[in-house]
Structure 1
Amino acid sequence: MSLYYLQKLIYQLNRDEHVRQRYEMDFEELLADYPLDDEEKKALREPDIGLLYVMGVNGQL
């Protein structure tokens, strides 16, 4: 699990306009830029807030 990169992506989605634009244009390409495992990617795609919480993602992000 790569909690640091998972949280970094969520943080950047909330604060960086360029990252948000990439999210809207091609989310899969954006995900490829972060070393996330399949479960983390699945939790972001759905989005599964409960799973993200269980993984340890800070709820304030």
Structure 2
Amino acid sequence: MVGTGRWQKSSHSGTEDCVQVADRSDDRARVGVRDSKVRVAGPVITFDAEAWVAFVGVTR
């Protein structure tokens, strides 16, 4: 789970239906991803740095 990291959405996202990402405040080598529609109650997927780079590389 992401600690007090700051959540942000892509500048390519609209006003709704997007994902948000945040660095983990307790472990900067990990990135959390969540659905913006269910912010607090929803699940968070956590990627390590290597997996995040691979994920972003195939989704661009």
TM-score range, shorter chain: under 0.3
Q: TM-score, normalised by structure 2?
A: 0.26
Higher strand residue share? 2
Higher helix residue share? 1
Over alpha carbons, which structure has the higher Rg? 2
